[in-house]
Chain A
Amino acid sequence: DIQMTQSPSSLSASVGDRVTITCQASQDIRTYLNWYQQKPGEAPKLLIYDAFHLETGVPSRFSGSGSGTDFTFTISSLQPEDIATYYCLQYNHLVGTFGPGTMVDLK
């Protein structure tokens, strides 16, 4: 099974800050990596698919990069509505593994 690690587990940042989260796979997953945002009491929301493609309707301050085993998710300018937990997901043909999540809050 493919294992996913994610760091940091939590971070505090100010409005306007650049926020970066990393995700590492235990083996090469090419670009089968996706990023989700989850707010308390809500279902996850897809932000980035296939490592760097922005889902329709998602603000352009969100971006993703990477391939193989190392991936990065960036919020270029943190907004108050971005306070949430972010998860990476490696997914291919009905098989998936989530990272443990990164909780983002305001400093």
Chain B
Amino acid sequence: QVQLVQSGAEVKKSGSSVSVSCKASGDIFRNSGIIWVRQAPGQGLEWMGGFIPMFGTREYAQKFQDRVKITADRSTSTAYMELSSLRPDDTAVYYCARVGSIAPDNWGQGTLVTVSS
């Protein structure tokens, strides 16, 4: 089973950017993509977007269209999610997950991003 290990917690100032990484235990990008989801404290899950490297296909949720960038480095089996123009309400746990032929199945452990004003 593929394991996804995310980078550590981040504390950021409003207006800055954050990059969260998601390293896979194997060459998942040969036949899979990555999606990103976030969860604000005490709230539900929110879809951000995804990327399938072998097709070069990206989709971003409209809410994040102007501020998010999802990339991947196939040589290191690592995906990245960069969120810019951070606001305090971007404080959340950010998750990556693998997508193959079905729904997102393998998930990272989550990365807490805290944004202060």
A residues in contact (CB < 8 Å) with B: 1, 34, 36, 38, 43-46, 49-50, 53, 55, 87, 89, 91, 93-101
B residues in contact (CB < 8 Å) with A: 33, 35, 37, 44-47, 49-52, 57-59, 61-62, 95, 97, 99, 102-105, 107-110
Report whether B46 and A98 are in contact in the complex, using a CB–CB cutoff of 8 Å. yes
Report whether A95 and B59 are in contact in the complex, using a CB–CB cutoff of 8 Å. yes
Report whether A91 and B52 are in contact in the complex, using a CB–CB cutoff of 8 Å. no
Give the nearest-CB partner of B58 in chain A: A94
Instruction: State whether A93 and B108 are in contact (beta carbons under 8 Å apart), knowing that A46-B103, A98-B47, A101-B45 are contacts in the complex.
Output: no
Which residue, A43, A55, A89, A101, has most C-beta atoms of chain B within 10 A?
Answer: A43
Give the nearest-CB partner of B108 in chain A: A43
Report whether B105 and A101 are in contact in the complex, using a CB–CB cutoff of 8 Å. no
Report whether B103 and A89 are in contact in the complex, using a CB–CB cutoff of 8 Å. yes
Report whether B103 and A98 are in contact in the complex, using a CB–CB cutoff of 8 Å. no
A100 CA / B44 CA spacing, docked (Å):
6
Residues of chain B with a CB closer than 8 A to A49's CB:
102-103, 105
Report whether A91 and B59 are in contact in the complex, using a CB–CB cutoff of 8 Å. no
Residues of chain B with a CB closer than 8 A to A38's CB:
45
- How many Å from the CB of B68 to the closest CB on chain A? 13
Report whether B44 and A50 are in contact in the complex, using a CB–CB cutoff of 8 Å. no
A100 CA / B104 CA spacing, docked (Å):
17
Residues of chain B with a CB closer than 8 A to A95's CB:
47, 59, 61
A46 CA / B37 CA spacing, docked (Å):
14
A95 CA / B61 CA spacing, docked (Å):
7
Give the nearest-CB partner of B103 in chain A: A34
Q: Which of B47, B51, B52 contacts A97 (CB 8 A)?
A: B47
21 intermolecular pairs with C-beta atoms under 8 Å apart: A43-B95, A44-B45, A45-B107, A46-B103, A49-B103, A49-B105, A50-B103, A53-B102, A87-B44, A89-B47, A89-B103, A91-B104, A93-B59, A94-B99, A95-B61, A96-B47, A98-B37, A98-B44, A98-B47, A101-B44, A101-B45
